[in-house]
């Protein structure tokens, strides 16, 4: 993709100075800044979220009975303190009874 933008003179000068400081071309520095500050691609974010959820599931599988009971108590407390009539964890807490 080719993108042409007009930079305000102050920003242009800052880009030039940073490129000079790094010993790189202005385009290289601009591309690196965009890459560092734009969110990851949707697929990468999805993959990271799936990985996180799988990690949590694996952690849950390795909990002792005492840890599972403590977690259930925290969830029960959250539901009890919830001002809404709609509970967050009804199925999960039913299994713990």
| 6-41: pLDDT as tens digits | 999 999 999 999 999 999 999 999 999 999 999 889
Residue extents of the structural domains in the chain: 1-38, 42-96
Q: Which string of b and e fits 60-71 if b means at least 16 CB within 10 Å?
A: eeeeeeeeeeee
What percent of the chain shows pLDDT beyond 90?
Answer: 63
Span 57-91, pLDDT tens digits: 999 999 999 999 998 889 888 888 888 878 787 77
The Cα diameter of the chain in Å comes to 67
Give the chain's length. Answer: 97
Q: What is the pTM of this model?
A: 0.47
């Amino acid at each position: 993709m080719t993108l042409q933008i007009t930079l305000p003179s102050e920003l242009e000068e800052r880009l030039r100075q940073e490129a000079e400081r790094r010993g790189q071309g202005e385009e290289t520095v601009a591309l690196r800044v965009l890459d560092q500050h734009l969110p990851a691609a949707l697929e990468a974010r999805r993959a990271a979220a799936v990985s996180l959820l799988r990690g949590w599931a694996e952690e849950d599988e390795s909990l002792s009975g005492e840890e599972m009971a403590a977690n259930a108590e925290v969830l029960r407390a959250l539901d009890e303190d919830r001002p809404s009539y709609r509970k967050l964890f009804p199925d999960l807490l039913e299994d713990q009874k």
